[in-house]
Structure 1
Amino acid sequence: MMERKKLLGEERRTKLLHILQTSAQPVTGTELSQMANVSRQVIVGDITLLKARNEPIIATSQGYIFLATESTKKPERTIACQHDPSRAQEELYLLVDIGITVKDVKIEHPVYGDLTASIMVSSRKEVQQFLSRVSATNASFLSELTSGIHLHTLSASSEELLDEAETALREAGILVD
């Protein structure tokens, strides 16, 4: 039986970067560690080094993502919402069903200032996985710190879809105008 070769240092980081650049989906640290035949902790260190080199990699609840370049970037819009935690699923489903990617959630905390967390959900399945992780860890939504007020960065293939999303959120009583 042949043992898989462990990738070392710069060779491994080059391969990780290529995997992330060519993946259409988030790639977990566990998946990357298996591909490189190293521990997940080594991958975390490698990602930190790549970020320090200004590689546009973000960590999401689904895994690591290499952000698109400006030439391939989709239209984006930041919107303000307000609702209690019981409506989080409704809000996210409403958006992804239109074809929106919810990139993040932001709040303005009175002590800590602006706080942003990556969400990166584009489908009901990803929304369900995100909400399951929130529930399993007993985590609070950031919006619970601000009476339900929060911002989302939305991305879509067209401005028309972003307009449609705003209309749907307004009709649901979630959008803050």
Structure 2
Amino acid sequence: MSDKKLLGEERRERLLDLLKTSGEPIKGGDLAKQANVSRQVIVGDISLLKAKNEPIIATSQGYLYFTDPTKDHKYERTIASSHTPEETEDELNLLVDHGVVIKDVSVEHPVYGDLTASLHISNRKEVKQFIEKVRSNKASYLLELTGGIHMHTISASSEETLDDAVEALEGAGYLVRT
């Protein structure tokens, strides 16, 4: 973008172009700097774009135009896992090393019900970025609300890949049998 403040529809079109061509999440603050507006304006713009059915998702790494990395991942499964916060990186690496995409994490909270957060983690670099973001923000993992128990939706290109990942989770002692 430029030093010039972009207005309304022109700004949203430019944001959409940036998100579509990036291939990686872009932080709201970075989009705001490029558009020469506040982060709050970007939040509003993203909401308007979503209202127009643009597949933009907010991840822990920033906004992402969702070109489905799982389009070849026709198989999906929800698994229950339990471990300590310190074991999170190991669990996520174990899954991506088996060729699955970790689409989300969810917990069943006694007051709020089901809480789900989009992750869309597919490789070790994304695992590292997620872990670093949690640490740098001194944030808690959702599993801390439930004594370690949580669910992941995972996807892969075959049932065999999902089976292998689940078997590896079980071998590591992370799988909860339902």
Same fold (TM over 0.5): yes
Name the SS of the counterpart of 1:19 in structure 2: helix
Taking only aligned residues, the RMSD between alpha carbons, in angstroms, comes to 2.4
Q: Do residues 143 (structure 1) and 143 (structure 2) align?
A: yes
Q: Look up the SS of the partner of 1:176 in the other structure.
A: coil
Give 1:15-164 correspondences, 5 Å limit. Answer: 15-68=14-67, 72=71, 74-75=73-74, 76-164=76-164
Q: Could you tell which deviates more after superposition, 15-24 or 148-157?
A: 15-24
Shift of 1:80: 1.0
Report runs of 4+ in structure 1 exceeding 6 Å deviation. Answer: none
- Larger mean CA deviation between 42-51 and 15-24 belongs to 15-24
The answer for the alignment partner of 1:6 in structure 2 is: 5
Alpha-carbon distance between aligned partners in 2 of 1:4 and 1:86, rounded to the nearest angstrom: 43
TM-score in terms of structure 1 length = 0.85
Give the aligned length. Answer: 175
Counterpart residue identity of residue 109, structure 1: H
Instruction: Spell out, residue by residue over 1:76-124, the C-alpha distance to the aligned partner (whole angstroms, 9 max, x if none).
Output: 3221111122211110111122222222110111111000112232222
Amino acid at match of 1:107: V
How big is the shift at 1:167?
A: 1.4
Q: Shift of the alpha carbon at 1:73?
A: 6.1
2:165 partner SS: helix
Letter in 1 for 2:60: S
How far apart are the structure 2 equivalents of 1:161 and 1:19? 33
- One-letter amino acid matched to 1:25: E
For the 8 Å contact 2:72–2:156, the answer to whether it is kept is no
SS at match of 1:81: strand
Unaligned runs of 5+ in 2: none
CA distance in 2, matches of 1:157, 1:28: 29
Residue 170 (str. 1) matches residue 155 (str. 2):
no
Give the AA of the match of 1:172.
Answer: A
TM-score, normalising length: structure 2: 0.85
Unpaired runs of 5+ in structure 1?
none
Aligned-partner Cα distance in 2 for 1:46–1:154: 30
CA distance in 2 between partners of 1:5 and 1:132 (Å): 33
User: C-alpha offsets along residues 61-81 of structure 1, whole Å, 9 cap, x if unaligned?
Assistant: 111112236x94633322111
